[in-house]
Chain A
């Protein structure tokens, strides 16, 4: 018996496609803004952008319900935004302002938001997987029909925590959706230089959980697969694993001179830009025009301008508060 479900192709452009296009564009514009603000030294620390990978977060998030939980990595601005954290609050966090979602204590790599069940923002590779397993364990024990979606890069598959977590989740049939964002590189290390088995769905399937690969540059395919997997997890089908094949168009972080890949490879992938691809296929249906695109673009640009204004208007936390939140305030 195989645990690998073959992916089904993209369905014909559904109504929801307009929404997905908008969501991807919001992530793109937010992060373009972040890069600019980083260059202007308004944002500091490490900044990892998701540009090129937007279809993954957009597709998976739209398959989740409002009560579901999300665990993510340090490359999580888009996940937080699409989960419902406002762009202004995200930027304020990166400014280190108290108006940020973590009062400026977390920064770009550690966005958390209780209201949207967004459990971070983990900057230890594979550190989020055991956490997701435990979240799901609690849901199962409490009888809640909630799904925990856990995002991580393909680099995490080399860590022991990946293997220990998949095994535990499958052994206990816990409601986790593992979302492996395979962008082919962990910093400068290509997948083929770090894994003896580069088929990550096959690797995951060794733990006896349904696992399959999805074209992560096709938001409709991601959404469709995520929906199937989320439904199955919620129905008690145990953990599922999606390998989302994608690519990061930009450097790993703001400090990466990209010695490890050539420009031609990047150029080949940018031709598959998930936003451009969806825009083109929507235009091909005749139901989406250039004017529609321009209107959307203006609307998103206005959202981001307002977000920057919000972040700029904020202020750092008073130093007297330094010692807070080490222990709970009762």
Chain B
């Protein structure tokens, strides 16, 4: 069955609402408006305003309320329009959701799912284009998911809802219109393991979320030049699947990390560090990184494109790793 990332996500939310009456969706314009990216379109009509709950523009309060409801027996799905606005709720996420279990000595867990859009590429300027999922991946107590395929858009939510602890799902804005084949019986998927999206023996391209499509495109172009790239989709940014990262590096001996976040103090830095910590003697070339330029993302088309990772830049980095190695 042909579907889109957006529809797959909607199907997942609908299924959760149907299967568990503790589940409800809450956020800005998820209801009457139909969802700012039309993910929840039609759910308000189907499930009503109690379970598809529009909130005022009060990110801190409604995320905090989601935490409270989760503490008290519900299974909320809180939608924050974009990661940029999650900063208004950062306190609740970091100081409450991520800490309550530990601070309470294991007494109070927070089975909450927070979904939000992330990423650039649509000329929305510096307050609507950042990729801050790496920040959240810094925080113990949170689980960070980055579905990059229609299967994961369809399947990650239910597994996240079954998790006893807070899970954040980052949906890259450029993926909503991605279409793909989905099995009729597609359902929940695991949220622990990274996935090899393409096999190859010459270089490992390690990525997640919005940069998976361009990384796959880069792998195709490299294949045309005789370089077989393996593409690893991390899927979960915290906890990282160390074994999968190690396995691909042991296989290819070269790694390029592709991450739309900024390079300094980033997720890509973490992955690079883990590779050098655990597989240093396997490497035939330095670990390379393709990240966003260290600027607030500009509006102008050409400047924005120049700031973001591209297939060309991934191809160039992979060539260098292969050519420059031993």
B-binding residues in A (CB < 8 A):
44-46, 96-97, 103-107, 109-110, 122-127, 155-156, 158-161, 186-190, 193-195, 256-257, 259-260, 316-317, 319, 322-323, 325-326
B300 in complex: contacting residue of A46, A109, A317, CB < 8 Å: A317
Q: Tell whether, in the assembled complex, residue B57 and residue A156 are in contact, meaning their CB atoms are under 8 Å apart.
A: yes
B115 CB → nearest A CB, Å: 17
Q: Tell whether, in the assembled complex, residue A188 and residue B32 are in contact, meaning their CB atoms are under 8 Å apart.
A: yes
Give the secondary structure class of A's interface.
loop
Q: When chains A and B are docked, how far (Å) is the Cα of A221 from the Cα of B284?
A: 74
Q: Which B residues between 16 and 59 are near A, CB-CB below 8 angstroms?
A: 28-29, 32-34, 36, 54-59
Q: Which residues of A contact B61 (CB under 8 A)?
A: 160
Q: Which residues of B contact A257 (CB under 8 A)?
A: 34
B306 in complex: contacting residue of A107, A187, A193, A322, CB < 8 Å: A322
A107 in complex: contacting residue of B29, B56, B123, CB < 8 Å: B123
Q: When chains A and B are docked, how far (Å) is the Cα of A186 from the Cα of B57?
A: 8
Q: Tell whether, in the assembled complex, residue B32 and residue A259 are in contact, meaning their CB atoms are under 8 Å apart.
A: yes
Q: Tell whether, in the assembled complex, residue A187 and residue B36 are in contact, meaning their CB atoms are under 8 Å apart.
A: yes
Q: Which residues of B contact A44 (CB under 8 A)?
A: 122-123, 301
Q: Tell whether, in the assembled complex, residue B124 and residue A45 are in contact, meaning their CB atoms are under 8 Å apart.
A: yes
Q: A123-B125, A187-B33, A316-B302 are in contact. List 6 more A-B contacts (CB 8 A).
A: A96-B301, A104-B303, A127-B127, A155-B56, A186-B28, A257-B34
The answer to whether the Cβ of B85 comes within 8 Å of any Cβ in the partner chain is: yes
Give the secondary structure class of B's interface.
loop
Q: Which residues of A contact B296 (CB under 8 A)?
A: 326
Q: Tell whether, in the assembled complex, residue B125 and residue A109 are in contact, meaning their CB atoms are under 8 Å apart.
A: yes
The answer to whether the Cβ of B187 comes within 8 Å of any Cβ in the partner chain is: no
Q: When chains A and B are docked, how far (Å) is the Cα of A323 from the Cα of B59?
A: 32
A-binding residues in B (CB < 8 A):
28-29, 32-34, 36, 54-61, 84-85, 88, 122-128, 293-296, 298-303, 306-307
Q: Tell whether, in the assembled complex, residue B57 and residue A45 are in contact, meaning their CB atoms are under 8 Å apart.
A: no
Q: Tell whether, in the assembled complex, residue A189 and residue B299 are in contact, meaning their CB atoms are under 8 Å apart.
A: no
Given contacts A105-B298, A194-B56, contact A124 B84 (CB under 8 A): yes
Q: When chains A and B are docked, how far (Å) is the Cα of A107 from the Cα of B299?
A: 6
Q: Tell whether, in the assembled complex, residue B33 and residue A195 are in contact, meaning their CB atoms are under 8 Å apart.
A: no
B125 in complex: contacting residue of A106, A156, A256, A326, CB < 8 Å: A106
Q: Which residues of A contact B59 (CB under 8 A)?
A: 159
A72 CB → nearest B CB, Å: 14
Q: Tell whether, in the assembled complex, residue A160 and residue B60 are in contact, meaning their CB atoms are under 8 Å apart.
A: yes
Q: Tell whether, in the assembled complex, residue A259 and residue B34 are in contact, meaning their CB atoms are under 8 Å apart.
A: yes
Q: Tell whether, in the assembled complex, residue A110 and residue B28 are in contact, meaning their CB atoms are under 8 Å apart.
A: no
Q: Tell whether, in the assembled complex, residue A322 and residue B28 are in contact, meaning their CB atoms are under 8 Å apart.
A: no
Q: Which residues of A contact B300 (CB under 8 A)?
A: 96-97, 103-105, 107, 316-317
B28 in complex: contacting residue of A106, A109, A187, CB < 8 Å: A187
Q: Tell whether, in the assembled complex, residue A260 and residue B127 are in contact, meaning their CB atoms are under 8 Å apart.
A: no
